[in-house]
Structure 1
Amino acid sequence: MTTTGTTLVIGATGTTGSRTAARLTAAGHRVRAASRRATPVPGAEPVPFDWYDQATHAAALDGADRVYLIPPVGEFDPAATMLPFLRRARTAGVHRAVLLSSSAVPAGGPAVGAVHQALPGLFEEWAVLRPSWFMQNFTGTHAHAHSIRDEGVIRTATGSGRVGFVDAEDIAAVAVRALTDAQAPNTDLLLTGPEALSHDDIASVLTEVTGRPVVHRRLTYEQMRDRLATQVPQEFAAMLAGMDRAIAEGAEDRVTDTVQRLTQRPPRAFRTLVESMRGPATA
């Protein structure tokens, strides 16, 4: 069944945006796939979009009544960029907004937490997806995946802390429900996989399934912060390293039933994902 209007998917070539756009088009919904390169997405209308280029915003919003929001990547204070756009979106006719945030960031917290806090005041229909850390971090283009492929190493400051890693396909499935169900969630949704795993556990699964040794190398907060600072701004590096430290202290050691409840199927386990991909993280 097709919804009235068009769903604008920002970040339509990214990890969750591409999957969300694909699921929406497969279900018959009209989709405008927004990205900086306007890369074609099967069944969707491509449109160039850059958070930092207001000249791209009007065309992206034209005729859209729903929007899936991927914050600007690597931005320590995305609210300064996102909130003016969201006010413009509301004026343009968008009535439902679904924001991708993080389980580590509450409403009013750092980074996208300020956008989360503002969303209910901007739209009558809304949802904030707060997924745990992505399973695809170990199989895609994330730094962890690169170090696994190149060195057989995962470096974190998480110690033995556990995380309810979640499959991006499950995040996308929830995003589609949040965008298209007759009743908007009007709340934040904490998304996890079926089990909490340490990075030692992740390394063990990768080793067992792929047959190539993978180890978890434990760094201190300071070592992780300084390592990240060679790749991202210092302030952002400190925030990311702080998230690792929070994991070490147990902040992400939890699982929820949100994926099961909203999609009517269980979330995928990490071992199942790696087996289905035949070990691409170390290929």
Structure 2
Amino acid sequence: MADRILVIGGTGKTGQRVVKRLGTTGFDVVVGTRSPVNPEDRYFAWGDSASIAAIDDCSSVYIVAPTDRTDHLDVMRPILEEAMARGVDRFVLLSSSLIERGGPMMGEVHDWLAHTAPEWAVLRPSWFMQNFSDGAHARTIRDEDAIYSATGRARVGFIDADDIAAAAVACLVSAEPLNDERILTGPEAIGYDDAAGILSDVAGRTIRHVSLSKSELTNRFKAQGLPSDYANILASLDETICSGIEDRTTDGVTELTGRAPGSFREFAEEHRNNWLK
């Protein structure tokens, strides 16, 4: 296997962490991004055939699907097929714990890779802890002392994006391909009420969890600028959590990296400054 890896979404939440970790492995790293900043970065945007050039001289790819549409396989397959034609052997796809192989969005890509790619891995992490520090919940925690969700009292095995990146790097650089999927979680499953309590302790003020209906959450997402169908899917995922499907922990991170994932309290203490007013 050659020593050059393309990281699609290399400036994103997991991608930037994958790039940083790969920098210590001796592998060459290429950042694929819509907005290249450094001279060595390569332009990459799903749906744009010009993105194929980013694949040149790479043998492995870390794949982050587009977040502004739901027809993932239709838009991703042409570039992935061209990548294989140009000699890419290994593909590591970031999916979701709630999206089964063959399901919608990344689930279709998951199934296609499993049938088509020479070497592949699909990582299915639970919800990111970073959603609280620099994602959807960060602003409302700072401005409203509130977290909004449609999850009710259900629990989630929240995972740190650093642990996802460590698992991805392990799959990218291992001598043998995984050729399988892994569900990735943190070490404990907690509810949004629990998360609000931990954040209250760490931030030194009361932060509450506001429980919404699916339709109320959909409207919030649309007000934030998300397309209607994508907003509905995201709200539906929250609603699905209410069934208890995310109330679990796995050994996926430890199996791939050899170390245990970090806890939500450790994450909160590390990122305390993100919630200061």
Matches of residues 131-150 of structure 1 in structure 2 within 5 Å?
Answer: 131-140=125-134, 142-150=135-143
The C-alpha deviation readout for 1:18-73, integer Å capped at 9, x for no partner, is 00011001221100011011133xxx931111113211322x11100000000011
2:12 aligns with one of 6, 11, 14: 14
**TM-score under structure 1 normalisation?**
0.94
8 Å contact from structure 1 (residues 212, 282) kept in 2: no
CA displacement 1:234-279 (0-9 Å, x = unmatched): 2112111111111111010000011112111110001001112234
Q: C-alpha distance in 2, partners of 1:282/1:213?
A: 12
Matched residue of 2:62: which SS? Answer: strand
- Counterpart position of 1:112: 106
Gaps in structure 1 of 5+ consecutive residues: none
Q: Is the counterpart of residue 93 in structure 1 residue 87 in structure 2? A: yes
Aligned positions of 1:202-221 closer than 5 A: 202-221=195-214
- What is the match of residue 246 of structure 2? 252
The answer to whether the 8 A contact 2:138-2:274 is kept is: no
Quick one: which of 35, 45, 50 aligns to 1:55? 50
Residue of structure 2 aligned with 1:5, choices 3, 6, 20: 3
Matched, 1:153 2:150: no
User: Aligned letter for 2:31?
Assistant: A
Distance 1:68 1:6 in 2: 11
Structure 2 gap ranges (5+): none
Give the secondary structure class of the aligned counterpart of 2:23: helix
- Does residue 122 in structure 1 map to residue 116 in structure 2? yes
Which residue pairs with 2:172 in the alignment?
A: 179
Specify which of 218, 229, 239 is matched with residue 235 of structure 1.
Answer: 229
Match of 1:165 in 2: 158
Instruction: State the AA in 2 paired with 1:24.
Output: L
1:270 maps to amino acid: F
Residue matched to 1:33: 31
Q: Secondary structure at the match of 2:65?
A: coil
Question: What is the CA–CA distance in structure 2 between the aligned matches of 1:261 and 1:5, rounded to whole Å?
Answer: 23
- Given that 2:47 and 2:76 are in contact with CA atoms closer than 8 Å, whether structure 1 keeps it comes out as no
TM-score, normalised with respect to structure 2: 0.96
The answer as to whether partners of 1:8 and 1:31 remain within 8 angstroms in 2 is: yes
Contact 2:158 2:189 in 1 (8 A): yes
1:65 counterpart = 2:53 = no
> Offset at 1:125?
0.6
Does 213-222 or 10-19 show the bigger shift? 213-222
SS at match of 1:87: helix
Deviation at 1:144, TM superposition (A): 1.0
C-alpha contact 1:274 1:280 (8 A) present in aligned 2: no
Instruction: State whether residues 194 and 267 of structure 1, in contact with CA within 8 Å, keep that contact through their aligned partners in structure 2.
Output: yes
Mapped to 2, the partners of 1:266 and 1:273 lie a distance apart of 14
Whether the 8 Å contact between 1:32 and 1:45 is mirrored in structure 2 is: yes
1:74-131 superposed Cα distances (whole Å, 9 cap, x missing partner): 3211111101110000001000000000001011111111101100222121000000
1:45 to 40, 48, 67: 40
Give the whole-Å Cα distance in 2 for the aligned partners of 1:64 and 1:187.
22
2:259 aligns to what? 265
Q: Secondary structure at the match of 1:154?
A: strand
